[in-house]
């Protein structure tokens, strides 16, 4: 068996009551053909099975041994999503069924109460009639409301309280009081001999309806993550031993050669080794134009091959693919909470017992100071308080909006790390942009070689390329690329040293060679003479001039230009229109920086900033009271990104280091920053609406239910209305969060 065909499966065992079952289950599984080992963890009731046996064979072996088994496939997100949807659908149907049964009793009773106006127990005939209704209500409580009572009892035993506790206490009190009226009417004043069976049935029905609708609405909040998970291919066509075959994606190994035909999804990350095509990466980057790919280019899982057939070598599989990392990051961010939600969390923690205390206090107040029948008023107010209070609306207010907001951002190629980043991004007042690779394309080209000595251009280019061969700086790459294009071969160097923020020096073919900025030349006492003006002229054209000296004499000025991204100007204007101060930082010389800044409309820029000084600039802005966002490539700017209130890593396509910053922009456009800020603001606004609504609902609803308006207006809330309000308060929060789905992040 090939290692790739070996797999580990986990089976959850139900019905294993004693440790002696372990041996029986393990040996039953080991007898299945293809199983190489089976080990059971009794405490966790999980057997880990290695081998290539099918899941069905393993389950039937467990069943034959007298136990129930379920494959634990949580690692397979796609399956787990389908299973989750199936489980949610089954639960939704159950809730609707429970609701129908409860309302089938509750609505006629309520209509009867409204039409006849009497639900009291005065005659023996009425006692028998209401007893039958009480029994029917009990059946509804057991059938349709069982989950509330079991949940409440479990919580109570556990010294905790939740929504079930409130519903169970509210409906239970109403039913119990009504049964006392039926069985022991003499204990209750004649005026108070009312029954509240309709309230019990209606509350159970309405809350089940609210839960069902909330479940549906919740499903919509996670559409973004479902879409991302849906991007994953299920199979890959691999070429092994010269033969092509389709295998499940989880069996693809690193270095496997994978063929992808036009129209198919790229199954795992890799490097193209054969063929040429255009790939649609919009689902990951938000960039609508397909990207040309040929030999040596990288491809990412989840993107779609549009035109040609390619073969690529797998470089990242399973949880390591860019898509898997994106899914993981979005999931984590969706479940994190911004600080704004913390107060609601603290309140939620104390909510239910406090409501119970208010209900008891309210009942006592009515009994002591209420009009006749005080006992009926006490029961109605206590029941209404218990039923109207909704901890769920408070608890859901923040996470539901974050879920939709983070998902919305992901659709636009903006990955937000957590709730805190989301909240801070909405408050940014200053945005610092690195020039190279952020405002510009980051792929400069050599534009001018101004020779200032008797050396020829080929030798200059040879020395310069030799010096820069080991560097990954975009300017260095431009020199190396230019030498390659002209067929100039590199020499050999010794004593190489890089002087951070200044340039490099080394010995090449016995000559001491320096290559860098004006500062480097001045420090090394190289005479620049009038050539400074030449350099300034080049810089004024937004080119970056670099001085090249051989044996302590200036030999040439090499100018490199990095084109400005086509939409940088519009994106910077968009930020400025939103009241954000845009600042440019660059290690480049002042003249070049000025030329670029002027072109893109930035008046606030700092040139010749050493890498370590970028953090200082961020600090200075923070000291001036700004909330600072910093955008860079996520690698060279790491300290500044970390120090900024929100760090934005900008990339081109899926190569960007996804986890390097608070917010990752999957496409190179600066519009991503404006999109991220816009979606953050919209999400925070939505959270505030939800929190305000939930707070107001509870702050106003609970006293109203307790009867504070009764002394003035003579109004006391019916428990049925309280139940309806409670059922729909959570739904309102989830629906308001869903409004965010309509938000358009890309306003350009």
Partner 1 sequence: MMIINLLGLGLIALIIWWFWLYKAQEIKMEDNELLITVENGVYSPSRIKLPVGTSIELTFLRKDPSPCAEMLLIPELQISESLPLNKVKRIPLPALKPGDYAFHCQMQMYKGQISAA
Q: How far is the CB of 706 from partner 1 (least distance, A)?
A: 14
| Footprint on this chain of partner 1 (rule: CB under 8 A) | 10, 12, 41-46, 70, 72-74, 80, 83-84, 87-88, 90-91, 94, 147, 150-164, 211, 214-215, 218, 331-332, 335-337, 345, 348-350, 352-353, 356-357, 360-361, 363-364, 367-368, 391-392, 394-396, 399, 418
Closer to partner 1 by CB, 366 or 606: give it: 366
Closer to partner 1 by CB, 380 or 441: give it: 380
- Is the CB of residue 43 less than 8 Å from the CB of residue 91? no
- 650 forms beta bridges with 665
Other CB atoms within a 10 A radius of the CB of residue 243 amount to 7
- Is the CB of residue 411 less than 8 Å from the CB of residue 403? no
Q: Counting beta carbons within 10 angstroms of the beta carbon of residue 425, is it exposed (0 to 12), middle (13 to 18) or buried (19 or more)?
A: buried
The one-character DSSP state at 289 is S
Is the CA virtual torsion 465, 471, 472, 476 positive or negative? negative
Q: How far is the CB of 156 from partner 1 (least distance, A)?
A: 8
- Measured CA distances, 449 to 490, 517, 529, 541 (Å): 18, 15, 17, 15
- 547 forms beta bridges with 516, 557
Q: How far is the CB of 525 from partner 1 (least distance, A)?
A: 53
Q: How far is the CB of 74 from partner 1 (least distance, A)?
A: 5
Q: Counting beta carbons within 10 angstroms of the beta carbon of residue 306, is it exposed (0 to 12), middle (13 to 18) or buried (19 or more)?
A: middle
Q: How far is the CB of 728 from partner 1 (least distance, A)?
A: 17
Closer to partner 1 by CB, 147 or 473: give it: 147
Other CB atoms within a 10 A radius of the CB of residue 488 amount to 20
**What secondary structure does DSSP assign to 703-729, as a single string?**
HHHHTTTHHHH-----HHHHHHHHHHH
**What secondary structure does DSSP assign to 295-340, as a single string?**
TT-EE-TT-EE-SS-EEEEEEE-GGGSHHHHHHHHHHHHHT---GG
Residues counted in the chain: 748
Closer to partner 1 by CB, 370 or 442: give it: 370
Q: How far is the CB of 592 from partner 1 (least distance, A)?
A: 42
Closer to partner 1 by CB, 395 or 629: give it: 395
Q: Counting beta carbons within 10 angstroms of the beta carbon of residue 328, is it exposed (0 to 12), middle (13 to 18) or buried (19 or more)?
A: middle
Closer to partner 1 by CB, 369 or 744: give it: 369
The one-character DSSP state at 194 is B
Assess whether 255 carries a catalytic annotation: no
Closer to partner 1 by CB, 183 or 369: give it: 369
Closer to partner 1 by CB, 88 or 541: give it: 88
For the chain, how big is the Rg over CA atoms in Å? 35
What gap in Å lies between CA 78 and CA 459, rounded to an integer?
A: 58
Three-class SS of residue 344?
A: helix
- 545 forms beta bridges with 559
The one-character DSSP state at 589 is -
Closer to partner 1 by CB, 232 or 459: give it: 232
Nearest to 688 by CA among 350, 389, 402, 333: 402
**Which of these is catalytic: 98, 256, 280, 434?**
434
- Is the CB of residue 174 less than 8 Å from the CB of residue 140? no
The vertex-475 CA angle with 544 and 587, nearest 5°, equals: 60
Q: Which residues are catalytic?
A: 434
């Amino acid at each position: 068996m090939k290692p790739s065909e070996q797999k580990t499966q986990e089976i959850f065992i139900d019905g294993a009551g004693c440790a002696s079952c372990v041996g029986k289950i393990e040996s039953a599984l080991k007898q299945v053909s293809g199983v190489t080992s089976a080990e059971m963890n009794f405490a966790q009731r999980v057997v880990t099975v290695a081998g290539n046996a099918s899941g069905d064979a393993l389950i039937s072996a467990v069943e034959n041994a007298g136990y129930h088994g379920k494959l634990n496939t949580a690692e397979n997100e796609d399956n787990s999503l389908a299973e989750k949807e199936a489980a949610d659908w089954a639960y939704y149907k159950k809730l609707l069924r429970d609701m129908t049964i409860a309302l089938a009793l509750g609505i006629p009773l309520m209509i009867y109460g409204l039409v006849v106006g009497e639900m009291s127990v005065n005659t023996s005939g009425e006692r028998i009639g209401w007893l039958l209704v009480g029994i029917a209500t009990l059946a509804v409580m057991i059938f349709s409301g069982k989950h509330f009572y079991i949940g409440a009892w479990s919580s109570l035993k556990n010294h905790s309280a939740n929504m079930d506790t409130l519903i169970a206490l509210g409906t239970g009190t109403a039913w119990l009081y009504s049964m006392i009226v039926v069985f022991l009417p003499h204990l209750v004043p004649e005026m108070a001999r009312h029954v509240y069976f309709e309230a019990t049935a209606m509350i159970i029905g309405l809350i089940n309806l609210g839960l069902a609708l909330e479940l549906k609405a919740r499903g919509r909040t996670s559409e973004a993550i479902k879409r991302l998970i849906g991007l994953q291919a299920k199979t890959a066509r691999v070429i092994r031993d010269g033969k092509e075959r389709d295998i499940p994606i989880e069996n693809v190994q690193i270095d496997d050669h994978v063929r992808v035909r036009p129209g198919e999804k790229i199954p795992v990350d890799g490097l193209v080794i054969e063929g040429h095509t255009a790939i649609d990466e919009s689902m990951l980057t938000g960039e609508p134009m397909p990207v040309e790919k040929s030999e040596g280019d990288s491809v990412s899982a989840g993107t779609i091959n549009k035109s040609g057939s390619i073969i690529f070598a797998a470089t990242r599989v399973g949880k390591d693919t860019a898509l898997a990392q994106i899914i993981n990051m979005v999931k984590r961010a969706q479940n994190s909470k911004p600080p704004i939600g913390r107060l609601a969390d603290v309140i939620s923690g104390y909510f239910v017992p406090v409501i119970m205390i208010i209900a008891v206090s309210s009942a006592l107040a009515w009994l002591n100071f209420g009009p006749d029948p005080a006992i009926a008023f006490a029961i109605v107010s206590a029941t209404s308080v218990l039923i109207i209070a909704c901890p769920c609306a408070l608890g859901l207010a923040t996470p539901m909006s974050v879920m939709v907001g983070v998902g919305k951002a992901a659709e636009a190629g903006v990955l937000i790390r957590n709730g805190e980043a989301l909240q801070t991004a909405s408050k940014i007042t200053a945005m610092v942009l690195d020039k190279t690779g952020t405002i510009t394309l980051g792929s400069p080209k050599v534009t001018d070689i101004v020779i200032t000595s008797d050396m020829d251009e080929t030798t200059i280019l040879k020395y310069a390329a030799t010096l820069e061969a080991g560097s990954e700086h975009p300017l260095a790459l431009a020199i190396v690329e230019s030498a390659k294009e002209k067929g100039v071969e590199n020499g050999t160097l010794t004593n190489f040293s890089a002087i951070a923020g200044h340039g490099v020096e080394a010995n090449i073919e016995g000559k001491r060679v320096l290559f860098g900025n004006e500062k480097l030349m001045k420090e090394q006492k190289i005479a620049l003479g009038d050539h400074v003006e030449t350099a300034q002229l080049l810089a004024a054209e937004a080119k970056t001039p670099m001085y090249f000296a051989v044996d302590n004499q200036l030999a040439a000025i090499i100018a490199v230009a990095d084109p400005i991204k086509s939409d940088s100007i519009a994106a910077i204007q968009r930020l400025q229109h939103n009241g954000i101060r845009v600042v440019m930082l660059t290690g480049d010389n002042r003249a070049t920086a000025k030329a670029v800044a002027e072109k893109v409309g930035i008046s606030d820029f700092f040139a010749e900033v050493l890498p370590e000084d970028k953090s200082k600039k961020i600090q200075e802005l923070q000291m001036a009271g700004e909330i600072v966002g910093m955008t860079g490539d996520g690698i060279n700017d790491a300290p500044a990104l970390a120090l900024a209130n929100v760090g934005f890593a900008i990339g081109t396509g899926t190569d960007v280091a996804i986890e390097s910053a608070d917010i990752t922009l999957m496409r190179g456009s600066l519009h991503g920053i404006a999109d991220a800020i816009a979606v953050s603001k919209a999400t925070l606004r939505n959270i505030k609406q939800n929190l305000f609504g939930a707070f107001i609902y509870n702050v106003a609803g609970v006293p109203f239910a307790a009867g504070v308006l009764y002394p003035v207006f003579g109004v006391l809330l019916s428990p049925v209305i309280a139940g309806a309000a409670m059922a729909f308060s959570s739904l309102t929060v989830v629906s308001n969060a869903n409004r965010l789905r309509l938000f358009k992040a890309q306003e350009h």
